Amino acid sequence: MAEENLSCPLSMAELTVANKTIVELHDWCTQRNEKPYPDAVLSVAIAINCYLLSGPANQIRSSIFKRESLPEWNEWLKAERGCVEKWADRDNQGEIKRDGKGLPVVNENAVEFNKEIEELAHSEQFKTMWDTIDAKEEENRKIEQSASVVKVCCLDAFDHAPRDMVPRLLSVLMGKTVMKIMKEA
């Protein structure tokens, strides 16, 4: 039996990618990994990248600070809700008006509301918490902007490229092709 020469439009590449992009590409692949895709090549690339990027993406996520982890955070939310209830717009029956998303509306007393929230944030009770959050969120930005080397399953042909992907993520998925184009530029 003669051996068939099947060309594979996929290849593996080690790429240096911003941490934020690694997490976003992993999320994109994970969301699509559970539904059928009309393009078999893209489906395989999605499945492989879910596997390849899960470790790096989870490591990045675990290093990101979450303000909810602070012990004072629930107290802040409670105090903030109190301000919202105090200053929210009300209908004729005295019920809090809500926007299309169901969130309370604070328009009529926005100046007073913002002033009270600002005072609350700078109060002795919450100032240290907000200073910590500001410092940690700066660290988060640095982590997200830093780059890591990851192994990615790349599409080698544009005809398999997804049409619903933002260019920044697509440039990673098309890694080798993009690098080749940039070298020729």
pLDDT tens digits for 61-116? 999 999 999 999 999 999 999 999 999 999 999 999 999 999 999 999 999 999 99
179/159 Cα distance (integer angstroms) = 17
Tell me which of 181 and 104 has the higher pLDDT: 104
Q: Taking the CA of residue 78 as centre, how many other CA atoms within 13 Å lie in the half-sphere pointing to its CB?
A: 7
Which domain range does residue 37 map to? 10-64+145-184
Per-residue tokens: 33: 């990994």
Does residue 101 lie in a domain region? yes
Same domain flag for 50 and 33: yes
* 2 domain residue, yes or no: no
pLDDT at res. 28: 92
- Is residue 86 included in any domain, yes or no? yes
In a domain, 135, yes or no: yes
pLDDT in tens, 116-128: 999 999 999 999 9
89 and 99 part of one domain? yes
pLDDT in tens, 3-45: 454 467 888 989 999 999 999 999 999 998 888 877 888 889 9
